[in-house]
Amino acid sequence: MLSRHLIDRLPSSCRICRTWGASTLCGACLQRFSVPQYRCQACGLPLPGTEAVPSTCGACRAQPPVWRRAVCAQDYAFPWSDLVGDFKFKGDVALARLLVRPLAEALRQTPQALDVDLVLPVPLSAARLQERGFNQSWELARRLAQTFGLACQADLLQRPVDTAHQVDLSLQERNRNLRGAFMVTPGRHPEVAGRRVALVDDVMTTGATLREATGTLLLAGASSVDVWTVARTP
């Protein structure tokens, strides 16, 4: 049986142009579809211009989100939407290694983004985890934590309520659907209290899931919560 080290070195077909090379996304496609974009540091939506100074959109200035900072690597559009879909819904866990690359780069380019003590994934309910076989957010979170030498916990934040799928729900329905969906594992609140937490998910759409999870962590005593996502729905 080949070791994981040798498997990682095997040639692979680029997911976009199908050119054979050393990665599931070739250098040319990665460069083409990973163009840095100026984004609101609060909600992650694109902003006009190319300024290097962090800024906040008008909507977030009027009504700031509950988290401290959002870092989103890409728009949820081709090819990232296809890659996330294959990763999340088709069980292609190997894509996690590819998807963290643009997010890690976005974190390096964001001032103070790595001023965190603990990295946590957005959890799945037990039923959803059994259905899917893995938590895509954990696969991303643990790789990011390893890249930056940060502490990471898989089970500190839990989702005891198996809520309905969010895809076809409005923002108001999403908020109602997620109310009380998260909890910090009983007896482990001291691991959250006073700590700066980074909460990792694959995609931010309305922000309802991240908002509810962030609120749970802040109520448990976290000093701040940042949200990190691979993609942001425009």
Q: Quick: pLDDT tens for 60-99.
A: 999 999 999 999 999 999 999 999 999 999 999 989 999 9
Write out the DSSP string of 164-224.
PPSTT--HHHHHHHHTT--EEPTT-GGGTTT-EEEEEEEEESSSHHHHHHHHHHHHTT-SE
Residue type present at position 234 = P
Task: Give residue 48's pLDDT band: very low, low, confident or very high (50, 70, 90).
Answer: confident
The CA dihedral of 40, 43, 44, 46, to the nearest 10 degrees, is -50
Which residues lie closer than 8 Å to 131 by C-beta, 6 or more apart?
Answer: none
pLDDT at 223 over 50: yes
Query: Which CATH fold would you assign to the domain 36-232?
Result: Rossmann fold (3.40.50)
Mean pLDDT of the chain: 87
Chain center to CA of 144: 10
CA angle 91, 96, 101 (to 5 degrees): 155
pLDDT at 210 over 60: yes
Residue boundaries of the structural domains of the chain:
36-232
Task: Give residue 7's pLDDT band: very low, low, confident or very high (50, 70, 90).
Answer: very low
Task: Give residue 53's pLDDT band: very low, low, confident or very high (50, 70, 90).
Answer: low
Q: Kindly report the backbone phi and psi dihedral angles of residue 146, in degrees, each rounded to the nearest multiple of 5, phi listed first.
A: -65, -40
Q: Quick: pLDDT tens for 159-184.
A: 998 765 545 555 565 556 566 799 99
